[in-house]
Amino acid sequence: MNAAIWTEKYRPHTFSEVKGQIEIVKRVEAFVKQRNTPHLLFAGPAGVGKTTLALVMAKEMFKDTWHENFLELNASDERGIDVIRVKVKDFARTRSIGEVPFKIIYLDECDALTKEAQQALRRTMENYTQTCRFILSCNYSSKIIDPIQSRCTVLRFKPLKKEDLFVIIDNVAKNEGLNVDLTAKEALYEVSGGDCRRVENILQSSAAISNQITDTLIYEIASVARPKEVKEVLEMAVKQDFLKSKSLLLKTMLEYGLSGLDIIKQIQKEIWSLTVEDKKKLEMIKECGEVEFRMVEGSDEFIQLEALVSKFVLINC
């Protein structure tokens, strides 16, 4: 089973099944009960339920005719002005089927739309309000032009909490016959950062290898270094053992196949768990930001990481 089918298999079908967005679900459910809704803007990180909630809303509102009354477009694939002028307009101008007086157009990743397309969308939203409602989904609401934001009710999604993710993991484990221990659940939460889709993809990849899901397996599949290994690198630097810290960092990167940008994020996280003065932690975090910027700009990652370890040694002299 590929990742998309696995994700679809565990997608919630009712409002009660949507995890981690209680207040948003309540508001959307109220819109459905009234059989009326404003234009909506779903903003938040990936894998937290934006598309799922839009689909549940359409199914609850339109029941059996939801396919005919719901159009889903991914704006990152079709991001030009012609999509808004042709596809969206053609769907928006026709009447809905059934009792609900409007259709719903769901534009996923609409922060990828060009500015021209967003301007065309603004006019379309205005002209076809009687027959169509828009749900716009994005990771960064700041990339959506103000005229569109002012026409929408903005709902901000949060990363899923640990307990919500654990419920999802338990559900998948029960249905797929997996044994996921507590350390593996903690590792899944750590690696995913509250992204449910990433959790399901990692679980699926792990299940292909073994039904016994452990934290070691999770870190290997996700290509993420174990936190204690990264912390060991930092502790060596704090103890001013530059050579040992550098070689352990290189070994960890090669073992897990990590890029410089992957490891820098983990280093930044683990700095806070070190037993050094707060002022030194702040200086170390500052250096992480500098090195990350240089790597994004194209600097050699190994030279930059060596320089970072040497800075950590100097800060803790």
pLDDT tens string 127-165: 888 888 889 999 888 889 998 899 888 999 988 888 888
> How high is the pLDDT of residue 42?
92
Give domain 227-315's CATH number out of 3.40.1190.20, 3.30.2270.10, 1.20.272.10, 1.20.1290.10. Answer: 1.20.272.10
- Residue 23: Cβ-neighbour burial (10 angstroms; 0-12, 13-18, 19+): exposed
> How high is the pLDDT of residue 294?
92
pLDDT value at 119 more than 90: no
Domain 21-156 has CATH 3.20.20.300: no
pLDDT value at 221 more than 70: yes
Domain spans of the chain, in order of start: 21-156, 162-222, 227-315
> How high is the pLDDT of residue 311?
92
Give the span between the Cα atoms of 239 and 245, in whole angstroms. Answer: 9
pLDDT value at 79 more than 70: no
Work out the average pLDDT over 64-69.
86
**Which residues contact residue 17 at a Cβ distance below 8 angstroms, ignoring those fewer than 6 apart?**
56
Could you tell me which residue, 150 or 12, shows the higher pLDDT?
150
In angstroms, the Cα distances linking 37 to 12, 29, 125, 239 are: 21, 10, 13, 60
Tens-digit pLDDT profile for residues 38-50: 899 999 888 888 8
Give the span between the Cα atoms of 168 and 178, in whole angstroms. Answer: 13
> How high is the pLDDT of residue 289?
92
Tens-digit pLDDT profile for residues 235-247: 999 888 999 999 9
pLDDT value at 1 more than 80: no
CB 126 within 8 A of CB 132: no
pLDDT value at 191 more than 80: yes
pLDDT value at 3 more than 60: no
Work out the average pLDDT over 268-274.
89
Query: For residue 70, which of 85, 49, 92, 48 has the smallest C-alpha distance?
Result: 92
CB 117 within 8 A of CB 87: no
pLDDT value at 77 more than 70: no
CB 79 within 8 A of CB 109: no
- Fold equal for 21-156 and 227-315: no
Per-range mean pLDDT, top range of 68-77, 89-98, 151-160: 151-160
pTM, rounded to two decimals: 0.79
Of the chain, the end-to-end C-alpha distance in Å amounts to 53
Architecture of domain 162-222: Orthogonal Bundle (1.10)
Work out the average pLDDT over 178-203.
88
Give the span between the Cα atoms of 304 and 185, in whole angstroms. Answer: 33
Give the span between the Cα atoms of 234 and 303, in whole angstroms. Answer: 17
pLDDT value at 253 more than 90: no
**Which residues contact residue 185 at a Cβ distance below 8 angstroms, ignoring those fewer than 6 apart?**
165, 166, 169
**To the nearest whole number, what is the mean pLDDT of the chain?**
86
Work out the average pLDDT over 271-277.
89
